[in-house]
Amino acid sequence: MGQHLPNPTTLFTSRPSSACTFLSLLVICILGFYTLHYVHPAPSSSNPQTALRFRRIFLSHSTNATVASYLRALTLHPHLAGTPPSLDTAHFVRAHFMGLGLDTRSVHYNSLLSYPLRSSLSAHFSNGSHVDIPLTEPGLSAENGVVGAYHAYSPSGSAHAKVVFANHGTDEDYRALAELGVNVTGCVVLVKRGGDLPRGEAVGKAEQNGALAVLLYTEGGDGFKKGFERGLVRSGAGDPLTPGWAGVDGAERLDPEDPEVLKRFPKIPSMPLSAEAAELLLATLGSSPVPDQWRASLPAGVRGVGPGPTVVNFTYQGEKKVVAIHNVFAVIRGAEEPDRYVLLGNHRDAWTYGAVDPNSGTAALLDIARRYDLLMRSGWIPRRTIILCSWDAEEFGMVGSTEWVEQNLANLGSKAVAYLNVDCAVQGPGLFVRATPQLDNLIVEVTKKVKDPDSEGATVYETWMAANRSIDIQRLSALDSDFAPFVQHAGVPSIDMYYGRDFPVYHTAFDAYDWMVNFGDPLFQRHVAVAGIWGLLALHLADDSILPFNFLSYVDQLKHYKDVLSSLLDGSVSLHPLTTAIQEFAYAAKDVEHEAQRLRDVQSTSELVLLKKRALNDRLMLAERGFLDSDGLEGRQWFKHLVYAPSSDLESKLFFFPGVADAIFQAKRMSGREGQAKIQHEIWRVARAIQRAASSLRGEIF
């Protein structure tokens, strides 16, 4: 009997007609029966010893020079999403995958992106002099292909007004100005990027306080004070014209003037400013003195916050237009469970050259593809399907990844094992990892197998432990990279990782190959380490007979979150529903861990054992979906995950239970009883989500 298996290309094809749909469903049911009941010959990668050999081969075939050559090729030209050079990088990645003989796919979407047309900024001083401030890095212009300094989705506008410095532009900062008697109404606000406040929120808060426009600057390191941090100032993820569905050819699209679209964009214009230009303005401000709590992070000569006497003349004109963006994929089809997907993703588009952000990650992804091809030539076939994903337009709000997730939500919801994201693979020294908690143990084990790039004779794990005194894995609540649609919308277990916490050339034209060679990773050893960890994680997830998930870590996290909530709330709200749900989840996690260990110890490959492993893996894979709520967060329905998603109160210290965090923020403006009821309702919603996850782990409905 031939081996009939479902094809992973269903993720990349259009919807069939209704008649074909019925026939397709009938065929899928028949094929599914044979898939589950036919005992397939186990390929060599399913044997633990052989799998270990393949992993060693994978690690041993890394070459620093190869990764460096990929990065060099990717960063020859700036490649802003939606432009011809960006399409060239898509062709480069596609050609690389095809050259390795991998099953290569491309998917395009039509999305609303934003570009500058013209802008100008001049400063006028009290002595009658003025200076025109350049709006791109020195020596660069449109002829170089470098886009001028701008904020994507900023409205066009102009202002001729006094400057006020508002520190980071938080509510607390505006309160500090008010205490000094400083009113920013009718002024241009100068804000220093910092903390966790996104650009769009900084602009929105300035707007709420009456400002006419906003200038945002980032402190550049020595030698990089002339850099401009480009970025977006909109809210949400994905194409603004297709919220919740994919922007494919012929799709429904909202009107650009639709209120649902407009609410995603700020109402006052903004632009980035270099640290050098910001210091020039700061040095000329007078009036009210700088608050003491701001002084430590400012140059010594800064005396006042304004308003004025310096006046700026600000003009920005931009355009929003629908353009084609392109995702590129390589599919390595699994032999035993081809309908289970392990996804590795990185975005490809950049504000300028993008040596760090994102092409250090793209170079690592290309090297993983090369090494996987070597494994296949050595006889390796993964148990489950691996998909390498190269996303477009992440810088405009995770557009490429979000559109694809929205298009394939049903398939991903039932078949995606995990998503492994790398954005800026290398920013500097030190490993940083974020993940959903059931993947913590796997991350620890994999880092024990990879050589540390900065410590001779040590593993990544050993250096990580020495630096943090523990394994410090953060969570995935932020809306800042392509893991967001997978976790926060689709409930897929995910990991995000990178070397170096930040870097001084972020989103500037200095983020080029030369910076990486001179500062970020001169020998490309960190690139090799990231590729090793990333590829090895995927090999475990694709080949282990029992998925390497451990939900006891999740239990510990949920208990900690409940304790933090308990310390924040005054006892007027009951946490009993949460306590009960977490206990139920803990019982399920312990039971499933014991079951997994028993099945790992079973040597038999009988049909019954294979079916038991398949059923257990499904429960492990689908438990994360239990944390989703179909209604989503109040006022932000796209966010479905009730444990990990951003809070609408972006100054909140809670990075978990976003609905509860929202309710606590909203309750401040309500009567006591009404506010308590709102918080209590959100606690019940989280409790029900945890119970759903527990039920999914148990795999029972009674």
Give 534-554 pLDDT, tens digit per residue.
Answer: 999 999 999 999 999 999 999
Each domain of the chain, given as residue ranges in start order, spans 65-111+322-543, 114-321, 551-698
In contact, 134 and 278? CB cutoff 8 Å = no
Averaged over 158-171, what is the pLDDT?
97
CB atoms within 10 A of CB 290: 18
Q: What is the mean pLDDT of residues 384-403?
A: 98
Provide the 10 A C-beta neighbour count for residue 222. Answer: 6
Question: CA-CA distance, 118 to 62, in Å (whole number)?
Answer: 45
Catalytic residue list contains 179: no
Residue among 92, 52, 61, 188 nearest 133 (CA)? 188
Residue 158 neighbours by CB distance under 10 Å: 15
- Separation CA 494–CA 305 (nearest Å): 43
Which of 2.60.120.1060, 3.10.100.10, 3.90.800.10, 3.40.630.10 is the CATH number of 65-111+322-543? 3.40.630.10
Q: Strand runs (DSSP E) across 454-583, as ranges?
A: 473-474, 494-499
When pLDDT is cut at 50, 70 and 90, the band that residue 13 belongs to is low
Q: Identify the three-state secondary structure at position 30.
A: helix
pLDDT at 29: 39
* DSSP codes joined into one string, 571-609: SSS--HHHHHHHHHHHHHHHHHHHHHHHHHH-----HHH
Give pLDDT tens digits for 452-463: 999 999 999 999
pLDDT at 21 over 80: no
pLDDT at 22 over 60: no
Query: Please, what is the average pLDDT of the chain?
Result: 92
Q: Tell me, which fold does domain 114-321 have in CATH?
A: Glucose Oxidase; domain 1 (3.50.30)
Contact 189, 166 (CB under 8 A): yes
pLDDT value, residue 337: 97
Q: Looking at 394, 395, 624, 682, which residue is catalytic?
A: 394
Distance linking the first and last C-alpha atoms of the chain: 38
Rounded Cα–Cα distance for residues 211 and 545 (Å): 59
For 119, 186, 193, 412, 480, the CA distances from 154, given in Å and listed in that order, are 12, 18, 17, 33, 18
Per-residue confidence (pLDDT) for residue 14, from 0 to 100: 42
Could you report the per-residue pLDDT of 475-502, keeping only the tens digit for each?
999 999 999 999 999 999 999 999 998 8
Q: E strands of 428-576, at which residues?
A: 431-435, 473-474, 494-499
Are 447 and 464 within 8 A, CB to CB?
yes
Residue in the block written with tokens 């139920």: 584
Amino acid of residue 43 = P
Burial class (CB in 10 A: 0-12, 13-18, 19+), 15: exposed
Instruction: Spell out a b/e string for 580-596, using b for 16 or more CB atoms within 10 Å of the CB, else e.
Output: ebbebbbebbeebbebb
581 strand-pairing partners: none
pLDDT of 154 higher than 60: yes
What are the tens digits of pLDDT across the range 643-691? 999 999 877 889 999 999 999 999 999 988 999 999 999 999 999 999 9
Which band of pLDDT confidence, cut at 50, 70 and 90, is reported for residue 194? Answer: confident
The model carries a pTM of 0.94
* pLDDT cut 70: percent of the chain above it: 93
Element (H, E) at 26: helix 18-37
Pairing of β 311-332 and β 288-289? unpaired
**Alpha-carbon separation of residue 348 from 397, 508, 543, 692 (angstroms):** 13, 16, 27, 36
Taking alpha carbons only, the member of 614, 608, 562, 566 closest to residue 585 is 562
- Look-up: residue for tokens 């994680």? 537
- pLDDT for 42 beyond 80: no
Of the chain, the percentage scoring pLDDT greater than 90 comes to 85
* CB within 8 Å of 513: residues ≥ 6 apart: 71, 72, 75, 353, 355
For residue 540, the SS3 value is helix
The CATH code for residues 551-698 is 1.20.930.40
Q: What is the dihedral of CA 177, 181, 187, 191, to 10 degrees?
A: -10
Q: Is 297 helix (H, G, I), strand (E, B) or coil?
A: coil
Choice between 84 and 43, residue whose per-residue pLDDT is larger: 84
The answer to whether residues 682 and 629 touch, using CB atoms and an 8 Å cutoff, is no
